[in-house]
Structure 1
Amino acid sequence: MKNRKIYNILLVTVWILGGVSCSLDEYNPGGSSLEALMTTQNGFKQAINNCYFGLQRSFYGKQIYIELAEAGTDLWTAKQNSNTNANYFKYAEGGSMNLNMAQSIWNSGYDGIGSCNLALAQADKVIDWDSEEVKNEILAEAHFLRGLYYYNLVEIFGGVTLITAKNEGVDMAPGRTEPLEIYKNCIIPDLEFAATYLPISRPEEEGRALRKSAKAYLVKAYLTTKEYGCSDYLQAAKDVADELIRDCEAGGADLDTYMYTTFDDVFADANNQNNKESMFSIACSSQYGSVNAWQNNLSWMEFYCNTYYFPAVEKTQESIKQWGGNPEGMFMPSKCLLDLYVQSDNKLDPRYAASFKTLWKANKAFTWSEDKIKEMDRNGITTNTTLGVGDDAIRIIRSEEDNYAALKANKLKAPYMIVDVEDLYDDAGKVKMNYTRQSDGKTVLNPFYYFYPSLSKFNTTNVVVSNWSKGRYGSNASIITMRMAEIYLLAAEADVYLTGGTNANRYINVVRERAGATKYNGAVDIQYILDERARELAGESTRWFDLKRTGKLTEDYLKQTNPDIGQYFLNSTHTVRPIPQSFTDIIENGVDYQNPNY
């Protein structure tokens, strides 16, 4: 039994049990049946789909991955600054962390790696390759995906067990390879192979790797080696980023790269699938009838506030299927994130309005009661005040907006909820947990912290309701794992390392001007790039990795930028996640294999 468990958890799993549906053609035999299938080119192409399934089951767009990638950073706290999912948002609030918090990532990562290793090992047994070119193009998918799996495992867990060959046995005392060695010996070579041989485009096959996918992740992999004290790849990072940028600015003829002309276009409902700015996407679909389709792409529902705390906004099946429908999410923006949208002229970067929902309409008639008036400190209205369907119900305001003064003056008199951002955060950047009512001077739990600017860039009407009563609804919108705008920001980052930022403004201003933000002419350092990444990429499952890569995932930085989170961060522990206990319990060297202090 012990050997069977480790076989399933760490080594090769070439068949998939359950999981969400996908848009690739599934073929999931096991053992010798799969190897027999892989003796022909067509069978091999079918079997290569197995390499993708780990991504779809547990990575991009899944709640745990989103929380691993965005929570616990300078940009977010949990809803109402609560202890909800504290392992991810607040590093267990200084207590004992759930050692299986990233188990699904670990298991699916190694399942995917096993499928990639099997494919690479079986390639020479195929009897009917059309050509060496066709063979390399198909193998490039396995190389790309193995590099992507290892990139995630290394950045999340640190040094892990490097396996690059087909499984031939069980190692009950596996060793760990240092991160930089995994980059040098696997991640970078895999992505370089993929960047050479993957096809330029795949019409009607969204979700499969392309040459631009490999080049994009190659830029990130090259840059990430600096995190481990290596500068050997920085020029290569800049060169590949520049290659992608030149192609984009020349119309994408060579690599099919593209940037939309406006920031709004990136997240338009019409571009929820086959997004042209995407460098690599995970395609989601419920058309195959999977009972787990409701787990597809949960990004759209992770960042919304609890508008249902105000009775004029009611959650219904119809409301969540509408553009801007708002099931309650997990993420509340930090004051740090909201402040980053204030430009030097004290006006808001247009990406704030394009990225955050701040106005909700009533979808249910509501009459203010005496208790609700008291709770919400509405001292300027009476119990016969009503809201009709379609009226403004909740509006979030902030001081940089043109009509702020008038709205603030009317805040407690308006028939709808006006919530000032100043009611949500104190000057130190912490969420205000208490509120002193004007009506009676009593200090109570803050009634406004249920309502806050809610990230809306993942809005979609492409909603799948599998089981309404159990809250099972997902999205068929594709998951963009990286997009062209990020390549400009990675090029700027490389330029800072190589030249001190001499040319970084050129890259940054392409992104800013596309968004309608003011041109930036000041000095560019790593902090400015992180700030720009926040404005452009908030919520896109990059932030934890960004802070780690740039040396900002530290106690001092998080205390300064997001003290609600930083107070719990430990430099000695939290730059990696715990190795799942489900794995360490069944190997002989589990205590030594575990990360420090877990």
Structure 2
Amino acid sequence: MKTRYKILLLLLGAIMVFPSCNDDYLSESPKSFLAPENTFVNTKGFETALTGLYVQVRDEWGWYAGGLTYAPMFAGTDLSLVANAHAHISPFEGYADKIYSTTTIVKAYWNWGYKTIGNANLIIEAAEKESVSWDNAGDKARVQAEARFIRAYAYRTLVTLYGDVPIVDKVEKPFRLDYTRQPVSEVLDFMIQDLKFAEENLPTETTQEGKVVKAAAQHMLAEAYLYNNQPELAEQKAKAVINSGDYQLMTERFGTQAGDPGDVFADLFLEHNQNRESGNLETIWAIQQEYNVNGGGAERYTDWSRRTWGPYYSRIPGMQLCDSLGGRSLGRLRPLKWWIDSYEAQDIRASKYNIRRAYWYNDPSHENYGQPVEMTEERQVSGELYPSTTKFYYGKTEDNPSFLNNLKDRVKIRLAETYLILAEAQLKQNKPGEAAASINVVRARANATPVAAGDVDMDYILDERARELFGEYPRRFTLVRTGKLLERVRSLNPVSKETIQEYHVKWPIPQTAIDANSGAELTQNEGY
């Protein structure tokens, strides 16, 4: 019985991590653990608890942080193929008889979601205590708004991956063993209520980089309304962000390397350029994970995106690790050719600063030193060499190209996506002309040809999202939300098209959760 309770505590309960932190930063790795009764006493204590919640969000795209990795959000989609295979990633490309209720990543995301929700519930409930000493009159509502935003963010992950899931809206004492699954529509309604509260009580701006603000809640509301088939409300919320005057697409060079060769799209992804203090007015929410600064990320297992997307070029004789080539990349995923071919020649998103197509022998001791490396079909299939995004390049201060992580601050929401959400909402209301106009704001910054209203459909929007947001936003989330996963995989992914089945739209419910929930039946998804 103790084992069963321990499992359920992990999966559906409340586990709170309270890191000791400097209030000027949000993402410090935990160094001490404080009891809730000593923490939930004043504004500073709640800020400490919120820091722990933001750390949870940062860990969502880590590696081996409880089995998490974001590669399965792209493997087996319309956007990429598994190249240098890894046992944690390959099942999500193979689909049939590959994904199980015991699969590590299937369990990891369930655990991550409910741990995050449990932590948020602790903060929300503790803020109701009359004994709390708040610094300012609005602190209580603002603290709850941040926690409710992140709770909705976690439910977005759960409902997208698993479909119907339990709604856990409070801390259960004793912990329950009788959860049942609520329909997706009810979970979305719950998320929307959280996000509406966040919209009403978050500030429009903050002096603390990484804190969620009103526009982040409005953006997430727009997406949730689309998922809930309420495009007119989605349009309202997307327009509220766009018309606020607080954000703009970056159209001029900016930031740390504005005087160096490059373009404005590349500037968005250079180190130190993700926050407003760099002059970036496009970012709506960025997770703080810079390395070797107060509040920054850990050296290992925080964000391995560059290892995921960059080719394993260092395996080729005559090539050695180099920051300018992407550092220690492992070629886990390679983009499908349609994505690279979908750009017009003049589109800056496909410039040499944003997609690397040329490599050279860089080992001075090799006979071909300085010569170009041939990008053969064999090397592309193996993951050794292929055209790749530079979005996740990261040069460590100590000049160590074998460094594991991509520890730039990571943008979760930026305005370009808000425009594409707006276009989707307008298209769903049969307003293709307005949808085209919204898309063309994004394409204009990219120096791409404007799209005509008659050419805008859901596939075009999905293509444009791929061109603009490649690697930034989990592709599986978009395809599931729009109902296009099966169709797009079957038409564009040569490996997964034969094995993906209708039931693969959802992941299985982890068997550990089903077994622990002894007081009621936690049903399994069909097909598993």
Alpha-carbon contact 1:280-1:480 (below 8 Å) kept: yes
The answer to whether the 8 Å contact 2:75/2:90 transfers is no
Secondary structure of 2:496's counterpart equals: helix
Do the aligned partners of residues 348 and 333 (structure 1) sit closer, same or farther apart at CA in structure 2, a change above 3 Å counting? farther
Question: Secondary structure of 1:560's partner?
Answer: helix
Deviations 1:548-572 (A, max 9, x none): 1111111x4312111212222111x
> Using a 3 Å threshold, how does the CA distance of structure 1 residues 387 and 53 change in structure 2: closer, same or farther?
same
1:57/1:25 CA distance change after superposition, 3 Å: closer
Cα deviation for residue 74 of structure 1 reads 0.5
Partner of 1:352: 350
Report the aligned-residue RMSD: 3.0
1:259 aligns with 2:249: yes
Deviation digits for residues 472-515 of structure 1 (CA, Å, limit 9, x no counterpart): 62132011112110000000000000124231111111111101
Deviations 1:160-214 (A, max 9, x none): 1111112222222310111110111x210111111111122222x2222111211
Instruction: For 1:470-481, list aligned pairs within 5 A.
Output: 473-481=404-412
The residue that corresponds to 1:483 in the other structure is 414
Cα separation, 2, equivalents of 1:37 and 1:16:
8
Distance in 1, Cα, partners of 2:183 & 2:54: 25
Aligned with 2:313 (options 307, 313, 325): 307
Amino acid at match of 1:393: P
2:194 matches 1:215: no
The residue number in structure 2 matching 1:596 is 526
Question: Whole-Å Cα distance in 2 between the matches of residues 547 and 200 of structure 1?
Answer: 31
Between stretches 81-90 and 486-495, larger displacement belongs to 81-90
Give the AA of the match of 1:155. T
1:400 corresponds to: none
Give the drift of 1:80: 5.7
Offset from partner CA, 1:424-449 (integer Å, 9 cap, x none): 4xxxxxxxx7xxxxxxxxxxx98886
1:459 to 372, 383, 393: 393
1:434-449 to 2 correspondences below 5 Å: none
- Pick the aligned partner of 2:232 from 231, 235, 248: 235
**Aligned counterpart, 1:296:** 302
Q: Are residues 134 and 221 of structure 1, via their aligned partners in 2, closer, same or farther at CA, if it must alter by over 3 Å?
A: same
Alignment of 1:87-166 (within 5 A): 87-91=91-95, 94-95=97-98, 97=100, 98-125=102-129, 126-166=131-171
Q: Which amino acid aligns with 2:249?
A: M
Aligned pair partner of 1:548 in 449, 463, 480: 480
Shift of 1:49: 2.3
User: Structure 2: how far apart are the matches of 1:198 and 1:541?
Assistant: 23
- Taking the aligned partners of 1:528 and 1:166, their CA distance within structure 2 comes to 44
Residue 516 of structure 1: how far off its partner (Å)? 1.2
Q: 1:324 to 1:25 in 2, by over 3 A?
A: closer
- What secondary structure, in the 3-state scheme, does the structure 1 residue paired with 2:5 have? helix
1:174 is matched with 179
Task: Name the counterpart of 2:257.
Answer: none
Once residues 481 and 58 of structure 2 are traced to their aligned partners in structure 1, the CA distance between those partners, rounded to angstroms, is 25
Q: Distance in 2 between matches of 1:95 and 1:476?
A: 32
* CA positional deviation for 1:338: 2.2
Q: 2:514 is matched with which residue?
A: 584
1:567 aligns with 2:498: yes
From the superposition, tell whether residues 532 and 172 of structure 1 become closer, same or farther in structure 2 (CA, over 3 Å): same
Contact 1:26 1:49 (8 Å CA) reproduced: no
* Aligned twin of 1:427: none
Closer/same/farther in 2, CA of residues 276 and 60 from structure 1, 3 Å limit: farther
Structure 1 regions of 5+ residues with no counterpart? 227-232, 368-385, 395-416, 425-432, 434-444
SS at match of 1:281: strand
AA matched with 1:312: G
- Tell me the equivalent position of 2:242: 245
Residue correspondences, number: 500
Q: Verify the 8 A CA contact 2:394 2:408 in the aligned structure 1.
A: yes
Structure 2: gaps spanning 5 or more residues: 252-263
Aligned-residue offset at 1:16: 6.4
Q: By how many angstroms is 1:81 displaced? A: 7.7
Distance 1:392 1:195, change over 3 A: farther
Q: Return the structure number with greater strand share.
A: 1
Deviation at 1:286, TM superposition (A): 3.9
Check conservation: 1:59, 1:105, Cα contact below 8 A.
Answer: no
Q: Deviation string for 1:322-348 (max 9, x for gaps)?
A: 46335223111112222322x4xxx46
User: Is residue 371 of structure 2 the alignment partner of residue 392 of structure 1?
Assistant: yes
Cα shift readout 1:205-263 (whole Å, capped 9, x = no counterpart):
2222111211111111111112xxxxxx311110111121123xx4x2xxxx2321132
- In the alignment, the residues of structure 2 paired with residue 309 and residue 201 of structure 1 have an alpha-carbon distance, to the nearest angstrom, of 46
In 2, distance between residues paired with 1:543 and 1:453? 19
* Secondary structure of the corresponding residue to residue 129 of structure 1: coil
> How many Å separate the matches in 1 of 2:522 and 2:132?
45
Q: Does 1:281 align with 2:286?
A: yes
1:334-373 aligned within 5 A: 334-341=336-343, 343=344, 347=345, 349-353=347-351, 354-365=353-364
